[in-house]
Structure 1
Amino acid sequence: MTDPFEARFDRLILLVGRLNYMWTNTESLLIHLIAGLTGTSKDVAVIIFLTLNTTRARIDLVERLAKMEGRPAQVRDPILEHTQRLAKLSGIRNKYNHCIYSFDPESGNPKTILMRIADRKTDIKLGREDTVDDNALLQIEAVVDQLSAANRDIWKLIRQLGFPV
């Protein structure tokens, strides 16, 4: 029989896997926005997308292309709405992808240890720890659901705008 702590960790790993899958799948839709906004083929847009090695850089590019002078508001505004939505959702994804996992010795709950240095005025702080409790798991599930909805909405926009698919 599976230990309850092991079951919680298994649930966490499955959710992080779903989060990664949904994130990657949804972020890749930026390729179609790049192609449409630049008037290039999807293949050229793939090269541009892969050359930019962070989500933030990809979102920045799409937003800047959408804001270019002469871009109609009916194209610009929905694109900006979707890129801002993705940027907001990226926080949870980053948290669970840029950490290591450990277990609380008393409760057995999984914990995340952030793999980032926080520079302070006179010192640094390493490895902020957060317990992955039921609320955290529900939060990941909610983000996966929101990414799924964002994916559908961005596909709808791509088709409405007639961008390359």
Structure 2
Amino acid sequence: MPALGEKEWQEHASLIGVVSLAWNQTVHQLLRVFCHLTGLESPLAEAIFFSPQSDSAQRNLVKRVAAAVGLAEQNWKTLEKLLKRLEKASRGRNLATHMIFGITAFDEKTGIWGPKVVPALKPLQDPRLEADFTAQFRKVERELVAIHRDLDHWPGHTPFPDRPWGGPPFPARPPPE
């Protein structure tokens, strides 16, 4: 017989995993933007991009590189919008991954008995957590997927910037095999 709330806990863990994976894929796309702007390739690009220990520092690094290469205004505005969307999505991702949850057998709000995933601490660790946090986290995951798509699109539709340092540009996408 499964433990109380095991099914609910597994569903919640799966949702947190989906949000985390979407976040990681989006950060990888941001690395591609960094490569596009700098002309650097991995493993050197990875060593530089992942040196900052926070996601916000990586986004700031991309902004600073875009400014340093004098990215065209239209491309800069598009990139800036993407980075702002990613900043907003990071808040939801942080809620999903850092909020402490537990299982209760009784829902105090509805008065219904039955296993339910709930925030473990009161008051809440972060007041931005919504009552329907499952819907909130699904929305974050959808937004991260959309940002990933848009970041994937950006290098292929943005000319290589003039770089004040040497180095050839590299193709936006690998040639087909």
Q: CA separation in 2, counterparts of 1:158 and 1:74?
A: 13
Shift of 1:105: 5.2
Greater Rg by CA: 2
Equivalent residue runs for 1:52-91 within 5 Å: 52-68=52-68, 70-91=70-91
5+ unaligned residues in a row in structure 2: which ranges? 108-114, 161-171
- More moved, 85-94 vs 45-54: 45-54
In the alignment, is residue 51 of structure 1 matched against residue 51 of structure 2?
Answer: yes
Deviations 1:112-145 (A, max 9, x none): 357xxxxxxxxxx986278x88721111111111
1:157 alignment counterpart: 154
**SS of the residue 1:106 aligns to:** strand
Instruction: Quote the Cα distance in structure 2 between the aligned partners of 1:69 and 1:38.
Output: 8
Percent of aligned pairs sharing the same letter: 24
* Bigger proportion of residues as helix: 1
Range moving further from structure 2, 152-161 or 39-48: 39-48
CA contact (8 A) 1:56 1:87 kept: yes
User: Does the 8 Å CA contact 2:33/2:155 hold for their aligned counterparts?
Assistant: yes
Deviations along 1:15-54, whole A, 9 cap, x unmatched? 1010111100111111111112223224321111221121
- RMSD value, Cα: 3.0
Contact 2:5 2:103 (8 Å CA) reproduced: no
Does residue 1:28 correspond to 2:35, yes or no?
Answer: no
Gaps of 5+ in 1: 115-124
Relative to structure 1, the CA distance from residue 42 to residue 74 in structure 2 (aligned partners, 3 Å threshold; closer, same or farther) is farther
The aligned residue for residue 112 of structure 1 is 119
Larger RCO, structure (CA 8 Å, separation 6 or more): 2
DSSP-derived class of the 2:102 partner: strand
The answer to whether the 8 Å contact 1:35/1:44 transfers is no
Q: Which amino acid aligns with 1:52?
A: P
Conserved in 1, the CA contact under 8 Å of 2:33 and 2:151? no
- Inter-CA distance 158–70: structure 2 relative to 1 (3 Å threshold): closer
CA separation in 1, counterparts of 2:69 and 2:159? 20
The aligned amino acid for 2:117 is P
Q: Distance in 1 between matches of 2:126 and 2:68?
A: 42
* Deviant stretches of 4+, over 6 Å: 1-4
Q: Say which of 122, 125, 128 aligns to 2:125.
A: 128
Contact 2:96 2:137 (C-alpha < 8 Å) held by counterparts: no
Provide the TM-score with structure 2 as the length reference: 0.73
